[in-house]
Structure 1
């Protein structure tokens, strides 16, 4: 599908998403996907801000430089100060403890200590669970499973410790992310605004916790384990509704296999209207629930690649081509796909490299000057942003960095 200006507006192309690119009073979503991992900033129509997951450790933990989420929040904070307002985060959510979703999130929580109203997470937030998960990952990451390297293990330790810190010592409220859990509810502009969790299923959480315990027990008793603990099985999925506007943030939730129920268990709770979907698990086939996809009929699908989509990594071109039959498909960074027949093509030219070297020098946007990307960090800011009004109309569509809309080759001839 090609943006027609009515259902999905033609995108604004920028080097880096900034607060001024998104309208006040709208429901906005910024999806950062620099090429591995994903993170999201949710901007509510009353000015509230939340963060879902993390995608990069900052090159400067103090300033946040190198983490696109921290840089975007710094710009929001600067704008709030200019308006004479305090800046807080309404919520910070960890959908699941995989390194492409928690990278940088611990540093973010450190930076905003005492300024986070709520922390949301699928695992029970507490020292005992954190210690169990740390122990399992530390012992097994050098074994047969593909697990994070030492630096990313430390990142996991940090984010779990900071979730405990926020909940137990910084007075942040904790909310459990699970099927049917209401996380936020209020009235904004005379319209109901609700943010809820539609997954994972309780049975999947129970099975995953048992697998973690079994793995630890076998490690203690035998020095090796046979239980497979896959955090994707318990990935959170979030649903945002405001009036007739709807967004589904799929996390890395997978479809049913074996004892795992996945989307099959929770999809009955998700109904139209949904205009925007952050596609689950980098648009892998094992995360695509065809019945749910067809029923929701979203106008815009946002995909984040995994490891630049090299080799067999998602998103696969054939899956993107399938999604593009029904929706505008925006991908946050260029997949490393082979050139062959049937591979989806980018619709738009990427922003000129000269724009990547521009610096903002006005006093009003001074914070943006210090956060402007250096040439080596340019891909950090690959992102897709979208804004909806309460009627469900998409009022803003932004492609940042190397983000683009991908269409099957036959449709690419109809470029705008």
Structure 2
């Protein structure tokens, strides 16, 4: 009846079928477990309806139940041993059950929803005591409704219905309050969510292998045998021939799964950290004498306005701000087809995934615009024409086109100057209480038309991207008086031949009360806001690194004092020569004395050795408590590597040279180097003295 009242959803059907299987097993006298009932119920439902595997509720229900069966009791016991004893037992068990269910469903939650709740375990602790009364009250309320239908007075059933509604309201209130808490959930969109889902799956598998090994030992009655016990007892070695290897294999599988899971978690964390943090970012890139503005939405969407004059420099700047695993731009906008705005877009479309390119519709004569149109014609990228009144969607940020007017853009420009600048796309960006204006290269004769079209009465703006690189013929006093910008951003190249930005324009901006930031002086300019505050950050200089071939001619006009040399950060190899403070080797070739200016106090990696200019890697022999010797028969003293020393004492790895060729000389049994007795290596089953070893005697 509950299944029918709940709507017979896949998760409810799973619970009903699983309960029926358990009841049937008990009544038939068969021994069965909940895990087998869960598997049989899931398999039967999939056979009846294969499409049910696509249902998210079915997946979550099966995963949560499996997590409860596998880790609920062990996790509760683990918490009971570590939490204060004064906590109630039901509270500790509820916390363990909640954590087990959430851990089992975490990969699916990340995969399907891209979000993980951080407060759900605590919220479940509050809601858990209410669940049973809510179900009982709901059942009584249903019975009351049936009785009311047959004539029972409604007043008698009112307390039951009121109690059920109050309990349900309490559950809803707990969920609402928990969801409203700061940092209640963590959003991990693609690809971070997918990587985190894979990482949690591997971690859960590693935990499952540990749990499975313990269960297998409990069911089979086998106890863990140490390696020393197996070696010391011939009987145990005979009865457990592969015990050590099996245990080592299980441990290796666990370590590999856990290590891979942790590595993927680190990758997911880096992916998540590369995402936006709820702030709108507008970055005027320092591309030289040109324009390129990167707009990043509060949820990670990206829009690039113009591409600058140099493709290589544009891509270098974008690579610094966009992670290598997410080569995505949601929209590219070309304000007008001048080379200092269009030259970098063609190569950008080949490097990044850009589904849409928007422009005013004018065809330029420059090679940059021609290359852009050639790329667009040979690809599936959608081309959109922008005009005043159009709007763009960017993560909830309102982007409105103010210019050019519809139908007033010619296909080809009558000249190469002001006619092209005056078709520049002007974008009005609003986010919360903040407003930014990107003006392209519009000239002074466009300002009055924008003011007449309604820009004058729209209120002040916070950020103005100054038109035409701050030239004298742009950004009139009338426009500044109507907009009253707080921050003015100027994109211009250092020591450009046009004199941008003009001193008169800078004076007008400062007189209007705006704080002026310039790419030629301050580097790339980033303005960020969460809709309320406003922050301005600069890189403090031009892009580091060598100039691209396309900028060589332009940089040739820059004075030498303003040019920066490219310094390689890879250190050059320095020969390791002996210094006066380094001890000399006891035997062998005499060490060369280093020149005074090259004398470096180098550490001694092995006791009793020294570094030489012709150092050879040591070759390790079986030493059985005597100093380990190198290829030159010098005493190297005790090895600092516990593994190598232990292997030498146990008689493993004879004639092993790391990483050189094996040493075939006689063995040193005792005494200092070159003075002890010499003897051939012992045969298999003998110790150093030639006597049968204890292990060989036991095997006989």
User: Does residue 106 of the first structure (1) align with residue 295 of the second (2)?
Assistant: no
CA distance in 2, matches of 1:317, 1:23: 36
Q: Give the helix-richer structure, 1 or 2.
A: 2
Distance in 2, matches of 1:246 and 1:228, equals: 30
Which residue, out of 245, 251, 257, partners 2:440?
A: 251
Secondary structure at the aligned position of 1:240 is classed as: strand
CA deviations on 1:55-114 (whole Å, 9 max, x unpaired) are 2434xxxxxxx32x32243344426x4xxxx542110011111111112111101222xx
- Match for residue 428 of structure 2? 239
Distance of aligned partners of 1:87 and 1:402 in 2 relative to their CA distance in 1, 3 Å threshold: closer
CA distance in 2, matches of 1:93, 1:227: 20
Task: Determine if contact 1:246/1:274 at 8 Å carries over to the other structure.
Answer: yes
Change (3 A) 1:54 1:255: same
Structure 1 stretches of 4+ moved >4 Å: 19-23, 226-229
For residues 314-325 of structure 1, what are the structure 2 equivalents within 5 Å?
Answer: 314-325=500-511
Contact 2:275 2:299 in 1 (8 A): no
**2:302 touches 2:329 (CA, 8 Å); kept in 1?**
yes
Aligned residue number for residue 299 of structure 2? 46
The equivalent residue for 1:266 is 450
Give ranges in structure 1 of 5+ residues lacking alignment. Answer: 1-18, 59-65, 125-129, 138-152, 188-192, 216-225, 257-261, 335-349, 351-381, 404-416
Are positions 1:159 and 2:372 aligned together?
A: yes
Q: Secondary structure at the match of 1:92?
A: strand
**1:73 has 2:73 as partner:** no
The RMSD of aligned alpha carbons is 3.0
In the other structure, the counterpart of 1:397 is: 537
- Partner SS, residue 230 of structure 1: helix
| Partners of 2:440 and 2:467 within 8 A in 1 | yes
Equivalent position of 1:387 in the other structure:
528
Unmatched 5+ stretches in structure 2: 1-271, 544-700
What is the match of residue 96 of structure 1? 336
Structure 2 CA distance for aligned equivalents of residues 280 and 23 of structure 1: 28
Kindly tell me the number of residue pairs found equivalent between the two proteins.
268
1:120 to 2:353 alignment: no
Larger Rg: 2
- The partner residue of 1:55 within 271, 290, 308 is 308
- The answer to whether the 8 Å contact 1:30/1:40 transfers is yes
For residue 470 of structure 2, what is the aligned residue in structure 1? 283
Counterpart check, 1:196 vs 2:400: yes
- Equivalent residues of 1:48, 1:89 under 8 A apart: yes
2:495 to 308, 311, 317: 308
CA contact 1:35–1:308 (8 Å) conserved in 2: no
- Compute the displacement of 1:402 (Å): 4.9
| Deviation (angstroms), 1:286 | 2.0
Match of 1:377 in 2: none
Q: CA deviation at 1:36?
A: 1.1
Q: CA 1:402–1:108 in 2, change beyond 3 Å: closer, same or farther?
A: closer
Judge conservation of contact 2:493–2:519 (CA < 8 Å) in 1.
no
Query: Contact 2:338–2:420 at 8 Å: present in 1 too?
Result: yes
The 3 A distance-change label for structure 1 pair 95 and 228 is closer
1:359 counterpart residue number:
none
Deviation at 1:204, TM superposition (A): 4.3
Structure 2 vs 1, CA of residues 75 and 20 (structure 1 numbering), >3 Å: closer, same or farther?
A: farther
Q: Answer whether contact 2:492 2:500 (CA < 8 A) is retained.
A: yes
Quick check: which one's strand share is greater? Answer: 1
Q: Distance in 2 between matches of 1:251 and 1:305?
A: 12
- Larger relative contact order (Cα-Cα within 8 Å, sequence gap ≥ 6): 1
Q: 1:23·1:387 contact (CA, 8 Å) conserved in 2?
A: no
Query: Do the aligned partners of residues 107 and 287 (structure 1) sit closer, same or farther apart at CA in structure 2, a change above 3 Å counting?
Result: same
> SS of 2:370's equivalent?
helix
Structure 2 Cα separation of the partners of residues 203 and 289 of structure 1: 26
Task: Return the alpha-carbon distance in structure 1 between the equivalents of residues 383 and 540 of structure 2.
Answer: 33
| Partner of residue 297 from structure 1, selected from 484, 488, 498 | 484
